[in-house]
Amino acid sequence: RETKRNINVLKRVALIQDIVRERHEVGNQSKSKRQVWRYYVNSIYPMSERSFYRYMGMNVKQEIQKTNYGQMSIEFNG
């Protein structure tokens, strides 16, 4: 089942993914995705760990295209 997401949620997901890209380091346990969620993301955008991993699995550009289908759209570089 495909659902259209709110554009503000998609912008938040893009910001969260940027934070993780900046802070995550493969092989360093203190900079794992879970630690990034715990210390950086959750303090700014409170959410469950399950929601965090769901957001990390989203393709934001693809979701934005689905959301804007048939509507006048504004370019979002996220």
CB 37 within 8 A of CB 16: no
What does the pLDDT read at residue 16?
96
User: pLDDT (tens digit, 9 = 90+) per residue, 7-21?
Assistant: 889 999 999 999 999
| Rounded distance between C-alpha atoms, residue 1 and residue 51, angstroms | 18
| Sequence ranges of the domains in the chain | 26-60
Kindly give the parts of the chain with pLDDT less than 70: 1-5, 68-76, 78
What does the pLDDT read at residue 72?
58
